[in-house]
Amino acid sequence: MSRPSTIATWNRNPAEEDAMGAAHAPIWRRMVDVSVPHDIRQATILDYGCNQGGFLRLLHDRRPFKSAIGIDIARESVARAELLKGQRPIDYRLGDSAAALGHSFDFAFSHEVIYLLPDVSAHARDIRAALSAGGAYVAAMGCHTDSAVWPRWRSLIAESSSIPIYDHSLEEVSKAFTDEGFAVSARPLALDAFMPVTVGSAYFPKVADQLRYYTTDKVLFRFVRKP
Ligand X SMILES: C[S@@+](CC[C@H](N)C(=O)[O-])C[C@H]1O[C@@H](n2cnc3c(N)ncnc32)[C@H](O)[C@@H]1O
Q: Which CB sits closer to ligand X, 47 or 106?
A: 47
Piece of 37-45, 110-118, 208-216, 219-227 that binds ligand X (CB under 6 A) = 110-118
Q: Which CB sits closer to ligand X, 123 or 133?
A: 123
Q: How many angstroms separate the CA atoms of 193 and 179, rounded?
A: 35
Under the binding rule (CB under 6 A), the answer on residue 80 touching ligand X is no
Q: In what order do the strands lie in the sheet with 105-111?
A: 90-94, 67-72, 44-48, 105-111, 131-141, 219-225, 182-188
* Site size for ligand X (CB under 6 A): 20
Under the binding rule (CB under 6 A), the answer on residue 78 touching ligand X is no
Q: Which CB sits closer to ligand X, 127 or 136?
A: 127
Phi first, then psi: what are they for 221, rounded to 5°?
Answer: -90, 145
Strands 44-48 and 105-111: parallel
Piece of 19-27, 81-89, 130-138, 171-179 that binds ligand X (CB under 6 A) = 19-27
Q: Which of 46, 68, 90, 113 binds ligand X (CB under 6 A)?
A: 113
Please say whether the beta carbons of 108 and 188 come within 8 A.
no
Q: Which of 36, 57, 59, 72 binds ligand X (CB under 6 A)?
A: 72
Rounded to 10 deg, the angle between the 54-62 and 14-35 helix axes is: 30
Under the binding rule (CB under 6 A), the answer on residue 81 touching ligand X is no
HSE, CB side, 13 Å, CA atoms: give it for residue 98.
Answer: 27
* Residue closest to ligand X, measured at CB: 49
Under the binding rule (CB under 6 A), the answer on residue 112 touching ligand X is yes
Q: Where are the alpha helices (DSSP H) in the chain?
A: 14-35, 54-62, 75-84, 120-130, 150-160, 170-179, 207-212
Under the binding rule (CB under 6 A), the answer on residue 71 touching ligand X is yes
Shortest approach of ligand X to residue 140 CB, angstroms? 8
Q: Which of 46, 74, 120, 176 binds ligand X (CB under 6 A)?
A: 74
Q: Which of 44, 51, 147, 210 binds ligand X (CB under 6 A)?
A: 51
CA 84, 89, 93, 96 torsion-angle sign: negative
Q: Which of residues 166-195 bind ligand X (CB under 6 A)?
A: none
Please say whether the beta carbons of 48 and 107 come within 8 A.
no
- Interface contacts to ligand X, rule CB under 6 A: 10, 20-21, 24, 49-51, 55, 71-74, 77, 96, 111-113, 116-117, 163
